[in-house]
Amino acid sequence: MDYISVKEAAANWQISERRVRSLCADGRIEGAARHGDWAWSIPATTARPIDGRSLRFIKNESFRTGAQNYAPADIMRNEPSSSSAVKDSVFMGLCLDDSRITIEQVEAVLENQIVSSLSLAQHILIANTATFLEDSVSEISDYSIRMVHRSILTSVDNGSRGSFRDRTSQHEFTTLMLQYKKDWEALHPIARATFLFGELMRIKPFINSNGLVAICMLQDSLRISGYPMADVAPSDCEELKAAMAAIGKRGNYQTLVKFICDSISRKAQ
């Protein structure tokens, strides 16, 4: 592996040498090795690290949720997910990816039937996504989300598993995860899960299957906080897309947060 100096890294990333040393000392540059008090060897292929000071939305208020009432959804905490949650979530993820696969086809595949109108890869994609949703929840991180993408595309598209679309989307994804872990930690869990879902759909960090990844992470984030999976019915696809469109560039999440809250509390009604 080739290495570069602090000076070369500073020139490549257009930041000061002092900032490069600080990032190295903080463990923010993977593979960097220290030599003495000031010298560092940095892998030449390392991309510029994300600066936490340049997050897209520095203040939580920039994501507007309105005067949201979480009480009806909070009643559902520690309740089990709907029996149709996995099937409906798989369909919703496919819908967000603009797939033409129907809910009936998803249901048939999950009942171990062969659907002649679907390819083998489509059968595997549905089964892989359902398997993730059926598994126990785990901590959400940039690594775990990439592993979700890898797992649902196993034996479907091995070449693009865990691969970002481009450097810009990778940069935005890393920024998003900094927000999720730090800026949004004190938010209501439903708002936090919704922001994660919405920003994954906005960024579309991966080459493909971003809708499936986003719906998986929404449900995982909710379950980690003790909620059942959002009960997103097949007929809700267009309404969900409309709520996503309301986000735009100003971060207006009011419609989407209400949609998710309603989908959680629906079971109690």
- Residue 143 sits in a domain whose CATH number is 1.10.3290.10
pLDDT score at 116: 97
Total domain count for the chain?
A: 2
- Identify the domain containing residue 208 by its residue range: 54-268
pLDDT score at 63: 54
Q: Are residues 83 and 35 in the same domain?
A: no
CA distances to 157, 162, 174 from 152, in Å:
9, 10, 21
State mean pLDDT over 210-225.
Answer: 96
pLDDT above 50: residue 230 = yes
29 pLDDT band, cuts 50/70/90, is confident
Higher-confidence position of 141 and 137: 141
Q: Are 142 and 173 in contact (CB under 8 A)?
A: yes
pLDDT above 50: residue 100 = yes
pLDDT above 90: residue 60 = no
Asked whether residue 49 is domain-assigned, the answer is no
pLDDT above 60: residue 58 = no
Q: Are residues 145 and 179 in the same domain?
A: yes
Distance between CA atoms of 71 and 62, rounded to whole angstroms? Answer: 23
pLDDT score at 45: 75
Higher-confidence position of 57 and 199: 199
Give residue-wise pLDDT tens across range 126-137.
999 999 999 867
pLDDT score at 227: 95
Q: Are residues 16 and 117 in the same domain?
A: no
Q: Are 188 and 146 in contact (CB under 8 A)?
A: no
67 pLDDT band, cuts 50/70/90, is low
Asked whether residue 71 is domain-assigned, the answer is yes
Q: Are residues 34 and 126 in the same domain?
A: no
Whole-prediction pTM:
0.76
Q: Are residues 13 and 145 in the same domain?
A: no
Q: Are residues 175 and 63 in the same domain?
A: yes
Q: Are residues 59 and 36 in the same domain?
A: no
pLDDT score at 65: 55
Asked whether residue 188 is domain-assigned, the answer is yes
Question: Per residue, what are the HEC states of 132-189?
Answer: HHHCCCCCCCHHHHHHHHHHHCCCCCCCCCCCECCHHHHHHHHHHHHHHHHHCCCCCH
Q: Are residues 63 and 37 in the same domain?
A: no
Asked whether residue 34 is domain-assigned, the answer is yes
Phi, psi dihedrals of residue 33, rounded to the nearest 5°: -120, 135
Q: Are residues 240 and 120 in the same domain?
A: yes
Q: Are residues 66 and 128 in the same domain?
A: yes
Q: Are 234 and 266 in contact (CB under 8 A)?
A: no
Q: Are residues 105 and 190 in the same domain?
A: yes
